[in-house]
């Protein structure tokens, strides 16, 4: 029997394992492992998402590259000290896992977050004129802890999100996505990095029940 999932932070993804299972860390005598799964979008692109999973849930299952899994859990964040700076790391923390054998996948990537704006939203537009707003959402969990989840809104949702203030209570529905971007180190060197965030499809402001949907 799995722990009760806090309903302010729900994730359900179905995808194919695309990295070896590797030991991550131990906490209170319990071992945790990590792997990546490839989750299909409606387009031909796949999101590659990091999964953290307990040895209790693995229960000796033979998980290898190519295994198709259904993972239910939460989005978690933690700070990692890298090159003298703190980096926000995002992972899908598994609460339940099953080997998925069905051929057809419906809604393989679903996220629900109920949290608070904790950083001033940043509105921008792409060179092709697409409107985007970046947000950082704090989602509370027990023992006075919070997870800080980057979210990205598009179009009409982006225009609405631009006006949100720090402390606003918001509910978000969407999907977890991976996105490659390039970072310039100096005049000659550029590296490709991966960002993880929630792509917003629907929003609701809790205080005034104002709903937006793309």
- Indicate which CATH number applies to the domain containing 101: 2.40.50.140
- Look at the chain and count its residues: 214
Domain boundary among 78, 105, 132: 105
pTM of the model: 0.88
Same domain, yes or no: 33 and 52: yes
Q: What pLDDT shows up at residue 214?
A: 43
Q: The tokens 């990590």 sit on which residue?
A: 34
10-residue stretch averages of pLDDT, the chain, 214 residues long: 67 96 94 96 91 94 94 94 82 95 85 96 91 96 93 94 94 95 79 92 75 44
Domain count, the chain: 2
Same domain, yes or no: 14 and 101: yes
């Amino acid at each position: 029997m799995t722990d009760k999932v806090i309903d302010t932070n729900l994730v359900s993804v179905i995808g194919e394992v695309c990295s070896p299972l590797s030991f991550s860390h131990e906490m209170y005598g319990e071992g945790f492992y990590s792997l990546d799964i490839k989750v299909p979008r409606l387009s031909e692109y796949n999101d590659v998402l990091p999964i953290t999973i307990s040895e209790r849930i693995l229960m000796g299952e033979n998980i290898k590259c190519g295994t198709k899994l259904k993972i239910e859990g939460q989005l978690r964040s933690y700070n990692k000290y890298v090159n003298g700076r703190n980096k926000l790391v995002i992972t899908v923390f598994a609460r339940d896992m099953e080997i998925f054998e069905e051929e057809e996948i419906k809604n393989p990537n679903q996220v629900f977050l109920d949290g608070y704006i904790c950083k001033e939203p940043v509105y921008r537009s792409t060179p092709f004129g697409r409107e985007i707003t970046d947000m950082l959402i704090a989602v509370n969990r027990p023992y006075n802890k919070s997870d800080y989840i980057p979210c990205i809104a598009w179009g009409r949702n982006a225009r609405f999100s631009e006006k949100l203030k720090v402390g606003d209570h918001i509910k978000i529905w969407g999907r977890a996505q991976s996105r490659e971007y390039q970072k310039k180190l100096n005049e000659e060197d550029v590296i490709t990095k991966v960002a993880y965030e929630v792509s917003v499809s629907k929003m609701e402001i809790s205080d005034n029940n104002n709903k937006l949907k793309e």
